Structure 1
Amino acid sequence: MSSKAGARYAKSLIDLSKEQNALEEIKNDMAFFEKVVDENSELEAILKNPIVPLDKKSGIVNGVFGEKIHAITKSFLSLVIKKGRSAILFDVAKQFVEQYNILKGIVTAEVTSASALTEANRAEVVGLVKKELGANEVIVKEKINPDLIGGFILKVGDRQFDASIASGLAKLKQEFAH
């Protein structure tokens, strides 16, 4: 779930990061923040809970991330919490990374296949996505789904290409049903 406020905060932080020549460090911080919150549902619950006092939220965030993050990131997180907007911090982090990737021409391709991709398959996916979308870099996220039997499903943004055997069999089955 992404919010307009999350996108605006992320855009502001990107602008500030570029101004301060700290874009890479802050992108790493936001990716780190997103990962930590994603893996710790208790932390996410605290950030979203309106009953938890703001100073306690600040203390927890500072305790978890403290010296591991850039001073700008630390100030930003603190400011958002003080404004009572800690519930959108996870979204801001996700949006920041997405906006950074767009800025740098980095595309994420999700590949779901029946078994793990070989290096050759991975290179083929990267080459195809770079060529089709003009991307500078492609991050391949792999998922394994044995139900596909063979082939793969490639998803980039809102586009999906289904070259799985299971999908082909389903189409055949549908054609024979008519």
Structure 2
Amino acid sequence: MSIFTVASRYAKSLLELVQEQGDLDAVKSDVEQVIAVLKSNTEIQAVLKNPIISSDKKRSILLAIFDNKVNPLVVSFFTILVSKGRADILLDILQEFIREYNEVKGIVNATVFSAAAMSEANLGELQAKISKEVGAKVLLKNKVDSSLIGGFVLRVGDKQVDASIAGKLQKLDKYFVSQGV
């Protein structure tokens, strides 16, 4: 079974449990904090993925870091994951939980790549247009890619709009090649 499938099943289980208890937004916030800690500390990730380190040691490390800092339900979930031998994919499960949360809440992630950082006003305007177009709340991130020369590339889900100068030059180059010029 693929990591994605396993992560998705555990994430859905946590989401359903949290929805039953009515703490969805609070747990989502806690999960984001845990993701930030795990991403910023590769040593913790290495310990969780190491098959030589015992489950008890992994559990005690997670409890030492997160107990009384995140929702008790999240801590209990960690304990279950460790006992099932799934500590190695904890980060994948938590990231999938956020994706599932966004789906339940009707939130769409979008990324705009631009040659230079976009102003807050431009990002807000673009976010509003995307939100209107997709009919959902949009979380828009701006990433700088100087190879675009100018313009932008917008990714919303599995769709992409290339309005960059580099993209237009590539299309022009393909046209000339196809015409034998």
| AA partner of residue 169 (structure 1) | L
- Give the distance between the partners of 1:18 and 1:58, measured in 2 at CA: 25
Per-residue Cα deviation, 1:7-40 (whole angstroms, up to 9, x for no partner)? 1111111111111111111111111122221222
Cα distance change, pair 2–151 in 1 and its aligned pair in 2 (3 A):
farther
How many residue pairs end up in the alignment? Answer: 177
Matched, 1:41 2:20: no
Matched, 1:75 2:73: no
- Deviating more after overlay: 96-105 vs 117-126: 117-126
| Alpha-carbon offset, residue 2 of structure 1 | 5.2
Deviating above 2 A after TM superposition, structure 1's stretches of 4 or more consecutive aligned residues are none
| AA partner of residue 69 (structure 2) | K
- Deviating more after overlay: 30-39 vs 3-12: 30-39
Structure 2 counterparts to residues 139-150 of structure 1, below 5 A = 139-150=139-150
Structure 2 counterparts to residues 1-178 of structure 1, below 5 A = 3-135=4-136, 137-177=137-177, 178=179
- Give the distance between the partners of 1:108 and 1:31, measured in 2 at CA: 15
Per-residue Cα deviation, 1:68-107 (whole angstroms, up to 9, x for no partner)? 1001001111111112111121111001100000111111
**Unpaired runs of 5+ in structure 2?**
none
Question: Does the CA-based 8 Å contact 1:129-1:138 persist in structure 2?
Answer: yes
Question: Does the CA-based 8 Å contact 1:80-1:86 persist in structure 2?
Answer: yes
What's the TM-score, normalizing by structure 1? 0.94
- Identity percentage of aligned residues: 44
Question: Does the CA-based 8 Å contact 1:2-1:95 persist in structure 2?
Answer: no
- Give the distance between the partners of 2:142 and 2:67, measured in 1 at CA: 32
Per-residue Cα deviation, 1:115-142 (whole angstroms, up to 9, x for no partner)? 111223212221222122111x211111
- Deviating more after overlay: 37-46 vs 159-168: 37-46
| AA partner of residue 30 (structure 1) | V
